[in-house]
Structure 1
Protein backbone atom coordinates (compact mmCIF):
# COMPACT_ATOMS: atom_id res chain seq x y z
CA UNK A 1 0.00 0.00 0.00
CA UNK A 2 1.00 3.60 -0.53
CA UNK A 3 2.00 5.37 2.68
CA UNK A 4 0.43 8.82 2.30
CA UNK A 5 1.93 11.99 3.81
CA UNK A 6 0.67 12.81 7.28
CA UNK A 7 0.58 15.91 9.41
CA UNK A 8 2.44 15.68 12.75
CA UNK A 9 0.36 14.97 15.81
CA UNK A 10 -2.45 13.33 13.85
CA UNK A 11 -3.84 9.84 13.90
CA UNK A 12 -7.19 8.17 13.40
CA UNK A 13 -8.52 8.92 16.89
CA UNK A 14 -7.51 12.57 16.66
CA UNK A 15 -9.29 12.84 13.33
CA UNK A 16 -12.42 11.22 14.75
CA UNK A 17 -12.37 13.57 17.74
CA UNK A 18 -12.02 16.59 15.44
CA UNK A 19 -14.90 15.37 13.28
CA UNK A 20 -17.07 14.82 16.34
CA UNK A 21 -16.40 18.38 17.48
CA UNK A 22 -17.30 19.67 14.02
CA UNK A 23 -20.49 17.62 14.00
CA UNK A 24 -21.50 19.13 17.32
CA UNK A 25 -20.87 22.74 16.27
CA UNK A 26 -21.80 22.89 12.58
CA UNK A 27 -24.84 24.98 11.69
CA UNK A 28 -26.77 22.24 9.88
CA UNK A 29 -29.24 24.72 8.39
CA UNK A 30 -26.45 25.89 6.06
CA UNK A 31 -26.00 22.41 4.57
CA UNK A 32 -28.51 22.15 1.73
CA UNK A 33 -28.72 21.39 -1.97
CA UNK A 34 -30.76 24.58 -2.50
CA UNK A 35 -29.07 27.40 -4.39
CA UNK A 36 -28.06 30.26 -2.06
CA UNK A 37 -29.33 33.79 -2.63
CA UNK A 38 -25.90 34.99 -3.72
CA UNK A 39 -24.90 37.74 -6.18
CA UNK A 40 -23.02 35.23 -8.37
CA UNK A 41 -24.34 31.85 -9.50
CA UNK A 42 -21.74 29.44 -10.87
CA UNK A 43 -22.90 26.95 -13.49
CA UNK A 44 -20.29 24.23 -12.99
CA UNK A 45 -16.58 23.50 -13.14
CA UNK A 46 -14.91 24.61 -16.39
CA UNK A 47 -11.31 23.65 -15.71
CA UNK A 48 -8.72 23.25 -12.98
CA UNK A 49 -5.06 24.13 -13.60
CA UNK A 50 -2.05 22.70 -11.79
CA UNK A 51 1.72 23.06 -12.09
CA UNK A 52 3.44 20.07 -13.68
CA UNK A 53 6.99 18.96 -14.35
CA UNK A 54 7.51 18.09 -18.00
CA UNK A 55 5.35 17.15 -20.96
CA UNK A 56 6.48 13.52 -21.28
CA UNK A 57 5.83 12.46 -17.68
CA UNK A 58 2.59 14.43 -17.41
CA UNK A 59 1.12 12.88 -20.56
CA UNK A 60 2.29 9.43 -19.46
CA UNK A 61 0.29 9.73 -16.23
CA UNK A 62 -2.85 11.62 -17.18
CA UNK A 63 -3.36 10.35 -20.74
CA UNK A 64 -1.61 6.99 -20.95
CA UNK A 65 -2.48 5.73 -17.44
CA UNK A 66 -5.69 7.55 -16.43
CA UNK A 67 -7.09 7.68 -19.96
CA UNK A 68 -7.68 11.42 -20.31
CA UNK A 69 -7.45 12.54 -23.95
CA UNK A 70 -4.99 15.37 -24.60
CA UNK A 71 -7.34 17.77 -26.40
CA UNK A 72 -5.27 20.96 -26.62
CA UNK A 73 -1.58 21.86 -26.40
CA UNK A 74 -0.27 25.40 -26.73
CA UNK A 75 2.04 27.93 -25.05
CA UNK A 76 0.97 29.29 -21.68
CA UNK A 77 -0.47 32.65 -22.74
CA UNK A 78 0.84 34.30 -19.56
CA UNK A 79 4.32 32.73 -19.87
CA UNK A 80 5.16 31.41 -23.35
CA UNK A 81 8.20 29.57 -21.98
CA UNK A 82 5.73 27.09 -20.44
CA UNK A 83 3.56 24.62 -22.35
CA UNK A 84 -0.14 24.43 -21.47
CA UNK A 85 -1.65 20.93 -21.71
CA UNK A 86 -5.44 20.42 -21.71
CA UNK A 87 -6.86 17.01 -20.73
CA UNK A 88 -10.53 15.97 -20.94
CA UNK A 89 -11.26 14.27 -17.62
CA UNK A 90 -14.09 12.24 -19.13
CA UNK A 91 -17.16 14.45 -19.05
CA UNK A 92 -15.92 17.49 -20.94
CA UNK A 93 -14.55 19.14 -17.82
CA UNK A 94 -10.92 19.99 -18.31
CA UNK A 95 -7.74 19.55 -16.31
CA UNK A 96 -4.92 21.78 -17.54
CA UNK A 97 -1.26 21.53 -16.61
CA UNK A 98 1.57 24.05 -17.00
CA UNK A 99 4.74 22.13 -17.88
CA UNK A 100 8.33 23.01 -18.73
CA UNK A 101 11.55 21.04 -18.56
CA UNK A 102 11.36 20.34 -14.83
CA UNK A 103 12.06 16.94 -13.28
CA UNK A 104 9.17 14.95 -11.83
CA UNK A 105 9.27 14.15 -8.12
CA UNK A 106 7.42 11.74 -5.87
CA UNK A 107 8.01 13.91 -2.81
CA UNK A 108 4.72 14.87 -1.12
CA UNK A 109 3.61 18.39 -1.99
CA UNK A 110 3.72 20.99 0.74
CA UNK A 111 0.37 21.93 2.21
CA UNK A 112 -0.89 25.12 3.77
CA UNK A 113 -3.71 27.58 3.43
CA UNK A 114 -4.68 27.99 -0.22
CA UNK A 115 -2.78 24.90 -1.36
CA UNK A 116 -4.39 22.06 -3.30
CA UNK A 117 -4.75 18.96 -1.11
CA UNK A 118 -5.79 16.54 -3.84
CA UNK A 119 -7.69 16.17 -7.10
CA UNK A 120 -10.49 13.63 -7.44
CA UNK A 121 -11.67 12.03 -10.66
CA UNK A 122 -14.55 9.59 -11.03
CA UNK A 123 -14.29 6.10 -12.46
CA UNK A 124 -17.01 3.62 -13.36
CA UNK A 125 -17.88 1.15 -10.57
CA UNK A 126 -17.47 -1.74 -13.01
CA UNK A 127 -13.90 -0.59 -13.71
CA UNK A 128 -12.77 -0.14 -10.11
CA UNK A 129 -10.86 -3.42 -9.80
CA UNK A 130 -9.31 -2.88 -13.24
CA UNK A 131 -8.09 0.51 -12.00
CA UNK A 132 -6.34 -1.22 -9.11
CA UNK A 133 -4.74 -3.73 -11.48
CA UNK A 134 -3.54 -0.95 -13.79
CA UNK A 135 -1.90 0.95 -10.94
CA UNK A 136 -0.17 -2.21 -9.77
CA UNK A 137 1.06 -2.94 -13.30
CA UNK A 138 2.45 0.60 -13.47
CA UNK A 139 4.27 0.11 -10.17
CA UNK A 140 2.27 2.73 -8.30
CA UNK A 141 1.28 2.56 -4.66
CA UNK A 142 -2.32 3.17 -3.64
CA UNK A 143 -4.82 2.86 -0.81
CA UNK A 144 -8.53 2.03 -1.07
CA UNK A 145 -11.13 3.20 1.44
CA UNK A 146 -14.88 3.03 1.92
CA UNK A 147 -15.72 6.65 2.65
CA UNK A 148 -19.31 5.98 3.65
CA UNK A 149 -21.08 7.77 0.82
CA UNK A 150 -18.59 6.79 -1.89
CA UNK A 151 -15.60 4.52 -2.56
CA UNK A 152 -12.13 6.05 -2.94
CA UNK A 153 -8.69 5.05 -4.14
CA UNK A 154 -5.70 7.30 -3.49
CA UNK A 155 -2.41 7.40 -5.37
CA UNK A 156 0.05 10.09 -6.54
CA UNK A 157 0.73 11.66 -9.90
CA UNK A 158 4.23 12.15 -11.32
CA UNK A 159 4.68 15.27 -9.17
CA UNK A 160 3.65 13.87 -5.80
CA UNK A 161 0.15 15.39 -5.95
CA UNK A 162 -2.46 13.17 -4.28
CA UNK A 163 -4.90 11.85 -6.86
CA UNK A 164 -8.18 10.33 -5.73
CA UNK A 165 -10.16 8.03 -8.01
CA UNK A 166 -13.67 7.64 -6.64
CA UNK A 167 -16.82 5.82 -7.58
CA UNK A 168 -20.39 6.00 -6.35
CA UNK A 169 -21.78 3.17 -4.24
CA UNK A 170 -25.24 3.54 -5.81
CA UNK A 171 -26.39 4.57 -9.29
CA UNK A 172 -27.43 8.04 -8.17
CA UNK A 173 -28.73 10.30 -10.97
CA UNK A 174 -26.10 12.98 -11.55
CA UNK A 175 -28.66 15.79 -11.30
CA UNK A 176 -29.80 14.54 -7.86
CA UNK A 177 -26.37 13.88 -6.33
CA UNK A 178 -26.19 17.09 -4.29
CA UNK A 179 -29.72 16.56 -3.03
CA UNK A 180 -28.88 13.01 -1.94
CA UNK A 181 -25.73 14.10 -0.10
CA UNK A 182 -27.59 16.92 1.66
CA UNK A 183 -30.26 14.46 2.83
CA UNK A 184 -27.55 12.03 4.00
CA UNK A 185 -26.02 14.91 5.97
CA UNK A 186 -29.38 15.63 7.60
CA UNK A 187 -29.73 11.97 8.58
CA UNK A 188 -26.14 11.82 9.83
CA UNK A 189 -26.71 14.77 12.16
CA UNK A 190 -29.98 13.27 13.43
CA UNK A 191 -28.10 10.02 14.09
CA UNK A 192 -25.30 11.88 15.93
CA UNK A 193 -22.79 10.09 13.70
CA UNK A 194 -19.23 11.28 13.13
CA UNK A 195 -19.58 11.09 9.36
CA UNK A 196 -22.12 10.03 6.74
CA UNK A 197 -22.17 6.25 6.36
CA UNK A 198 -23.70 3.81 3.92
CA UNK A 199 -26.86 3.53 6.02
CA UNK A 200 -27.38 7.30 5.82
CA UNK A 201 -26.90 7.24 2.05
CA UNK A 202 -29.33 4.34 1.63
CA UNK A 203 -31.87 6.08 3.87
CA UNK A 204 -31.46 9.31 1.90
CA UNK A 205 -32.20 7.51 -1.36
CA UNK A 206 -35.30 5.97 0.19
CA UNK A 207 -36.47 9.29 1.64
CA UNK A 208 -36.11 10.94 -1.77
CA UNK A 209 -37.91 8.02 -3.44
CA UNK A 210 -34.95 7.22 -5.70
CA UNK A 211 -34.77 3.64 -6.89
CA UNK A 212 -30.97 3.35 -7.01
CA UNK A 213 -29.27 -0.05 -6.87
CA UNK A 214 -26.00 -0.69 -5.06
CA UNK A 215 -22.87 -1.42 -7.07
CA UNK A 216 -20.74 -4.49 -6.40
CA UNK A 217 -17.50 -3.08 -5.01
CA UNK A 218 -14.57 -4.79 -3.25
CA UNK A 219 -14.15 -4.85 0.51
CA UNK A 220 -12.17 -1.91 1.86
CA UNK A 221 -11.17 -0.25 5.10
CA UNK A 222 -13.87 2.14 6.27
CA UNK A 223 -13.77 5.33 8.23
CA UNK A 224 -11.35 8.24 8.40
CA UNK A 225 -7.75 9.12 9.13
CA UNK A 226 -5.97 7.67 6.12
CA UNK A 227 -5.08 10.76 4.08
CA UNK A 228 -3.65 14.04 5.38
Structure 2
Protein backbone atom coordinates (compact mmCIF):
# COMPACT_ATOMS: atom_id res chain seq x y z
CA UNK A 1 0.00 0.00 0.00
CA UNK A 2 1.40 3.42 -0.98
CA UNK A 3 1.40 6.48 1.23
CA UNK A 4 -1.18 7.98 -1.13
CA UNK A 5 -3.64 5.24 -0.11
CA UNK A 6 -3.33 6.36 3.53
CA UNK A 7 -4.30 9.97 2.80
CA UNK A 8 -7.85 10.57 4.10
CA UNK A 9 -10.51 11.22 1.46
CA UNK A 10 -12.84 13.87 2.85
CA UNK A 11 -14.86 16.90 1.82
CA UNK A 12 -13.48 18.83 4.79
CA UNK A 13 -10.94 21.53 3.89
CA UNK A 14 -7.38 20.35 4.60
CA UNK A 15 -4.97 22.10 6.94
CA UNK A 16 -3.34 24.30 4.30
CA UNK A 17 -1.93 27.84 4.21
CA UNK A 18 -4.90 28.97 2.08
CA UNK A 19 -7.92 27.52 0.29
CA UNK A 20 -9.18 28.12 -3.25
CA UNK A 21 -12.77 29.29 -3.57
CA UNK A 22 -13.64 27.59 -6.87
CA UNK A 23 -12.67 27.27 -10.51
CA UNK A 24 -12.53 30.66 -12.26
CA UNK A 25 -11.63 29.60 -15.81
CA UNK A 26 -9.71 27.05 -17.87
CA UNK A 27 -7.65 28.23 -20.86
CA UNK A 28 -6.90 25.91 -23.79
CA UNK A 29 -4.50 26.21 -26.72
CA UNK A 30 -7.08 26.43 -29.52
CA UNK A 31 -6.90 26.29 -33.28
CA UNK A 32 -8.56 29.23 -35.04
CA UNK A 33 -11.36 31.59 -34.01
CA UNK A 34 -13.84 30.51 -36.71
CA UNK A 35 -13.83 26.79 -35.84
CA UNK A 36 -13.68 27.44 -32.08
CA UNK A 37 -16.67 29.79 -32.16
CA UNK A 38 -18.58 27.40 -34.44
CA UNK A 39 -18.21 24.58 -31.90
CA UNK A 40 -18.47 26.27 -28.51
CA UNK A 41 -20.93 29.05 -29.33
CA UNK A 42 -22.91 27.76 -32.28
CA UNK A 43 -23.03 24.06 -31.36
CA UNK A 44 -22.73 23.93 -27.57
CA UNK A 45 -24.56 27.19 -27.03
CA UNK A 46 -21.92 28.99 -24.93
CA UNK A 47 -22.14 32.79 -25.30
CA UNK A 48 -18.95 34.45 -26.55
CA UNK A 49 -18.63 37.13 -23.87
CA UNK A 50 -15.15 38.59 -24.42
CA UNK A 51 -12.65 38.69 -27.30
CA UNK A 52 -9.31 40.45 -27.03
CA UNK A 53 -5.59 39.86 -27.66
CA UNK A 54 -3.73 37.23 -25.67
CA UNK A 55 -2.00 39.62 -23.27
CA UNK A 56 1.14 37.45 -23.23
CA UNK A 57 1.30 37.26 -27.05
CA UNK A 58 -0.86 39.84 -28.85
CA UNK A 59 -0.43 38.01 -32.17
CA UNK A 60 -3.02 35.53 -30.84
CA UNK A 61 -6.67 36.13 -29.93
CA UNK A 62 -8.15 35.25 -26.53
CA UNK A 63 -11.79 34.05 -26.67
CA UNK A 64 -13.91 33.87 -23.48
CA UNK A 65 -17.04 31.68 -23.35
CA UNK A 66 -19.63 31.56 -20.56
CA UNK A 67 -20.09 27.83 -19.84
CA UNK A 68 -23.59 28.43 -18.48
CA UNK A 69 -23.12 29.11 -14.79
CA UNK A 70 -20.88 32.15 -14.96
CA UNK A 71 -17.73 30.02 -15.06
CA UNK A 72 -15.59 30.78 -18.07
CA UNK A 73 -13.78 28.63 -20.65
CA UNK A 74 -11.19 30.47 -22.74
CA UNK A 75 -9.08 29.70 -25.81
CA UNK A 76 -5.93 31.15 -27.34
CA UNK A 77 -6.51 31.00 -31.11
CA UNK A 78 -4.72 32.05 -34.28
CA UNK A 79 -5.97 32.08 -37.89
CA UNK A 80 -2.89 30.15 -39.07
CA UNK A 81 -3.70 27.08 -36.91
CA UNK A 82 -5.99 24.45 -38.46
CA UNK A 83 -8.29 22.42 -36.23
CA UNK A 84 -7.25 18.83 -35.54
CA UNK A 85 -8.92 15.73 -34.12
CA UNK A 86 -7.35 13.55 -31.47
CA UNK A 87 -5.51 14.59 -28.32
CA UNK A 88 -1.97 15.83 -28.89
CA UNK A 89 0.38 18.55 -27.65
CA UNK A 90 -0.43 22.00 -28.97
CA UNK A 91 -3.97 22.48 -30.24
CA UNK A 92 -6.40 21.08 -27.68
CA UNK A 93 -3.80 20.95 -24.90
CA UNK A 94 -4.32 22.84 -21.65
CA UNK A 95 -2.39 26.10 -21.44
CA UNK A 96 -3.04 26.71 -17.74
CA UNK A 97 -5.54 26.08 -14.96
CA UNK A 98 -7.06 28.96 -13.03
CA UNK A 99 -8.60 28.78 -9.57
CA UNK A 100 -10.52 31.50 -7.75
CA UNK A 101 -9.13 32.84 -4.50
CA UNK A 102 -10.44 35.26 -1.89
CA UNK A 103 -8.96 38.74 -2.52
CA UNK A 104 -8.50 39.19 1.24
CA UNK A 105 -6.04 36.26 1.21
CA UNK A 106 -3.96 37.61 -1.67
CA UNK A 107 -0.97 38.74 0.38
CA UNK A 108 -1.00 35.52 2.41
CA UNK A 109 -1.07 33.45 -0.76
CA UNK A 110 2.07 35.14 -2.09
CA UNK A 111 3.79 34.60 1.24
CA UNK A 112 2.76 30.93 1.27
CA UNK A 113 4.03 30.34 -2.28
CA UNK A 114 7.35 31.96 -1.45
CA UNK A 115 7.67 29.94 1.76
CA UNK A 116 7.03 26.75 -0.22
CA UNK A 117 9.74 27.61 -2.75
CA UNK A 118 7.37 28.39 -5.63
CA UNK A 119 8.20 31.45 -7.68
CA UNK A 120 5.29 33.55 -8.90
CA UNK A 121 4.33 36.60 -10.94
CA UNK A 122 1.47 39.00 -10.24
CA UNK A 123 -0.46 40.74 -13.03
CA UNK A 124 -3.43 43.07 -13.30
CA UNK A 125 -5.31 41.56 -16.23
CA UNK A 126 -7.96 44.26 -16.44
CA UNK A 127 -11.00 42.10 -15.65
CA UNK A 128 -9.24 40.14 -12.90
CA UNK A 129 -6.04 40.12 -10.87
CA UNK A 130 -3.80 37.05 -11.00
CA UNK A 131 -0.92 35.29 -9.34
CA UNK A 132 0.89 32.88 -11.69
CA UNK A 133 3.02 29.99 -10.48
CA UNK A 134 3.75 26.41 -11.60
CA UNK A 135 2.74 23.05 -10.16
CA UNK A 136 5.08 20.11 -9.57
CA UNK A 137 4.69 19.05 -13.21
CA UNK A 138 5.58 22.44 -14.63
CA UNK A 139 1.94 23.25 -15.47
CA UNK A 140 1.11 26.94 -15.15
CA UNK A 141 -1.35 27.58 -12.31
CA UNK A 142 -3.19 30.88 -12.06
CA UNK A 143 -4.75 32.00 -8.77
CA UNK A 144 -7.26 34.64 -9.72
CA UNK A 145 -9.44 37.17 -7.96
CA UNK A 146 -12.06 39.32 -9.67
CA UNK A 147 -11.09 42.97 -9.31
CA UNK A 148 -14.73 43.86 -8.71
CA UNK A 149 -17.49 42.12 -6.82
CA UNK A 150 -19.71 40.29 -9.31
CA UNK A 151 -22.87 38.48 -8.18
CA UNK A 152 -23.06 34.72 -8.74
CA UNK A 153 -24.21 33.88 -12.25
CA UNK A 154 -23.63 37.40 -13.62
CA UNK A 155 -19.96 37.17 -14.69
CA UNK A 156 -20.63 36.42 -18.36
CA UNK A 157 -23.15 39.27 -18.50
CA UNK A 158 -20.66 41.72 -16.96
CA UNK A 159 -17.83 40.62 -19.29
CA UNK A 160 -20.09 40.94 -22.35
CA UNK A 161 -21.00 44.51 -21.35
CA UNK A 162 -17.32 45.31 -20.72
CA UNK A 163 -16.48 43.89 -24.15
CA UNK A 164 -18.96 46.22 -25.83
CA UNK A 165 -17.62 49.22 -23.91
CA UNK A 166 -14.04 48.19 -24.72
CA UNK A 167 -14.81 48.06 -28.45
CA UNK A 168 -16.59 51.41 -28.37
CA UNK A 169 -13.58 52.86 -26.55
CA UNK A 170 -11.11 51.44 -29.09
CA UNK A 171 -9.06 49.83 -26.31
CA UNK A 172 -7.03 46.67 -26.94
CA UNK A 173 -8.28 44.90 -23.82
CA UNK A 174 -10.87 45.37 -21.07
CA UNK A 175 -9.71 47.71 -18.32
CA UNK A 176 -11.06 49.20 -15.09
CA UNK A 177 -13.16 51.84 -16.83
CA UNK A 178 -14.90 49.18 -18.93
CA UNK A 179 -15.60 46.93 -15.94
CA UNK A 180 -16.90 49.84 -13.88
CA UNK A 181 -19.04 51.02 -16.78
CA UNK A 182 -20.43 47.52 -17.28
CA UNK A 183 -21.40 47.18 -13.63
CA UNK A 184 -23.06 50.59 -13.61
CA UNK A 185 -24.90 49.83 -16.85
CA UNK A 186 -26.28 46.61 -15.38
CA UNK A 187 -27.35 48.37 -12.18
CA UNK A 188 -24.79 46.52 -10.07
CA UNK A 189 -22.75 48.16 -7.29
CA UNK A 190 -19.17 49.05 -8.22
CA UNK A 191 -17.13 47.51 -5.41
CA UNK A 192 -13.41 47.20 -6.18
CA UNK A 193 -11.26 44.84 -4.15
CA UNK A 194 -8.04 46.08 -2.54
CA UNK A 195 -5.42 44.24 -4.59
CA UNK A 196 -1.72 45.05 -5.07
CA UNK A 197 -0.63 47.31 -7.92
CA UNK A 198 0.68 45.30 -10.87
CA UNK A 199 1.30 45.68 -14.57
CA UNK A 200 -0.82 43.98 -17.22
CA UNK A 201 2.25 41.98 -18.20
CA UNK A 202 1.91 42.97 -21.85
CA UNK A 203 2.99 45.62 -24.32
CA UNK A 204 -0.52 46.25 -25.70
CA UNK A 205 -2.46 49.26 -24.39
Contact 1:147–1:224 at 8 Å: present in 2 too?
no
Rounded Cα–Cα distance in structure 2 between residues aligned with 1:219 and 1:14: 18
Distance in 2 (CA, whole Å) between partners of 1:211 and 1:204 is 10
Report which stretch shifted further, 110-119 or 169-178.
110-119
Tell me the residue number matched to 2:158: 180
Q: How far does residue 111 in structure 1 lie from its aligned partner after superposition?
A: 5.0
Number of equivalent positions: 134
Q: Paired residue for 1:205?
A: 183
Q: For each residue in 1:68-93, what CA deviation from the matched residue of structure 2 results, as whole angstroms up to 9, or x when unmatched?
A: xxxxxxxxxxxxxxxxxxxxxxxxxx
1:215 aligns with 2:193: yes
Q: Work out whether residues 56 and 201 of structure 2, in 8 Å CA contact, stay in contact via their aligned partners in 1.
A: no
Which of 102, 118, 125 is the aligned partner of 1:147?
125
Q: Which residue of structure 2 aligns with residue 113 of structure 1?
A: 91
Which residue number corresponds to residue 15 of structure 1?
57
Runs of 5+ consecutive residues of structure 2 not aligned to the other structure: 1-53, 72-87
Q: CA deviation at 1:184?
A: 0.3
| Alignment partner, residue 79 of structure 1 | none
Q: In the aligned structure 2, how far is the partner of 1:130 from the partner of 1:203? A: 31
Cα deviation, 1:113-169, whole Å, max 9, x if unaligned, reads 111100000000100111000000001110000000100111000100000000011
8 Å CA contact 1:153–1:164 kept in 2: the answer is yes
| Structure 1 alignment gaps of length 5 or more | 1-11, 34-40, 46-109
Where 1:222 maps in the other structure, the secondary structure is coil
Pick the structure with greater CA Rg: 1
Contact 2:99 2:142 in 1 (8 A): yes
**Alpha-carbon distance, 1:212 to partner:** 3.2
CA contact (8 A) 1:119 1:164 kept: yes
Q: Which residue is equivalent to 1:125?
A: 103
Cα 1:223–1:195 shift into 2, 3 Å:
farther
Contact 1:32–1:179 (CA under 8 A) maintained in structure 2: no
Taking a change above 3 Å as real, the CA distance of residues 217 and 111 of structure 1, as seen in their structure-2 partners, is: farther
